């Protein structure tokens, strides 16, 4: 879930560089980890398939061994390979993913 569409003229597909460059791109394309939980739950509420909704969260499993081990980063590059950025251990990214996973587990 990118913060800005790739076709937009202000889109920044990679979060990096000096502080000014990072600040300029912070809300201009990176994907925010915490939004995956609400997205997965909304998908489930619309389509009723808990396993499919969980499949949107499953790719984060490999990320749990990166950077902040056992945690989820604040943001990810909007462009592949979606490298993590910002805070390496963001509480609301972890909380929303766990909340959604548990709700979907209880629904399947």
Backbone angles phi, psi at 72, to 5 degrees: -130, 135
Mean pLDDT of 66-71: 85
User: Rounded to two decimals, what is the model's pTM?
Assistant: 0.88
pLDDT category at 90 given cuts 50, 70, 90 is: very high
Mean pLDDT of 78-82: 95
**pLDDT value at residue 62:** 87
Closest CA to 15 of 59, 79, 60: 79
Q: Rounded CA gap, 58 and 39, in Å?
A: 13
pLDDT category at 66 given cuts 50, 70, 90 is: confident
The domain spans of the chain are: 19-107
pLDDT at 80 over 90: yes
**pLDDT value at residue 26:** 94
């Amino acid at each position: 879930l990118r913060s800005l569409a790739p076709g937009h003229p202000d889109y920044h597909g990679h979060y990096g560089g000096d502080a000014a460059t990072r600040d300029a791109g912070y809300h201009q394309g990176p994907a925010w980890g915490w939004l995956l939980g609400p997205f997965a739950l909304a998908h489930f509420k619309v389509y009723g398939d808990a396993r499919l909704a969980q499949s949107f969260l499953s790719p984060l499993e490999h990320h749990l061994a990166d950077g902040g081990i056992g945690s989820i980063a604040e943001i990810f590059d909007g462009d592949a390979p979606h490298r993590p950025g910002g805070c390496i251990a963001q509480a609301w990214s972890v909380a929303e993913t766990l909340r959604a996973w548990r709700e979907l587990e209880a629904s399947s």
